[in-house]
Amino acid sequence: MELPDNEAADKVVPENDISINELIEMGKRYLLIPLGLLFVEIIYSILTASQDTLAWIQEIVAKIWNDLNQLLYGTESSTLSEYGDSGYITKVELYNQNFPDIQNNTIDFYVSDECAGVHEMLFITTLIILTPYISKKIKLWSIPIILTIVFCLNILRLVLIYPLAVSGCEINPGVWGCDVRWEIFHDFVFEWGSLIILTIMWIIWYLLVNNIIVKKYSKNYSDE
């Protein structure tokens, strides 16, 4: 319906509305995130195709895991040793008298690059770097903090394996498969858990830094 001549419209289009060009530009910037993650995923797969590519990180994580496990659950709860003939100390062997007899009451783990949390740290770093409209300065101080949190969460995940395995084997001591609870936990974290946690962390980070930026500009505007 057309308005009569010289009749003012009730609705005025705000001057600060986003234009089509700005919307397209915004879409391009956010599209870089999945494309960048895909590219990094391909590079990571190539770099870690051979075993022990990141052995120095794997050894650090294995040592921390073993030390914490012994501190929390007793000195006999785990041992640290060389994995096969690799020359790297990346094998953690968990022990409990109730673990399956067929496994000599032990559960052996090889601390790979995945177990070391390298994949997760690379993922969240790429996500932060590619996030648009956030200054480089904020990203630079954010990344070390986020990586520290991810590293600690990964260590926590590893430390939780022992009590989960023990909890099942206390009910059915020595029985094959009594330690299955740790496998269920591990598979969930590997398939979905890590992605969910990292996404939540990124969202929280994004909201926090945007809140800081908004407050900063609001203060500058009010000072004027």
Task: Transcribe 2-71 into DSSP letters.
Answer: PPPTTPPPS----TTPPPHHHHHHHHHHHHHHHHHHHHHHHHHHHHTSSTTTTHHHHHHHHHHHHHHHHH
What is the structure's pLDDT at 13? 47
What is the structure's pLDDT at 26? 66
pLDDT tens, residue order, the chain (224 aa): 444 555 454 544 455 556 676 666 666 777 888 888 888 889 888 877 777 788 999 999 999 999 999 999 999 999 999 998 889 999 999 999 999 999 999 999 999 988 899 999 999 999 999 998 888 999 999 999 999 999 999 999 999 999 999 999 999 999 999 999 999 999 999 889 999 999 999 999 999 998 766 556 555 545 55
What is the structure's pLDDT at 114? 87
Q: Which of 55, 71, 68 is nearest to 154 (CA)?
A: 68
| 107 to 5, 19, 74, 104, 177: CA distances (angstroms) | 85, 60, 16, 9, 11
Cα separation, 124 vs 127, in Å, equals: 5
Token pair 């394996």 in the structure block, residue: 161
* Terminal alpha carbon distance of the chain: 44
Q: Which of 124, 134, 152 is nearest to 208 (CA)?
A: 134
What is the structure's pLDDT at 202? 94
Q: Compute φ and ψ for 41, nearest 5 degrees.
A: -60, -40
What is the structure's pLDDT at 25? 67
Structure tokens at 219: 């203060």
Cα separation, 161 vs 38, in Å, equals: 30
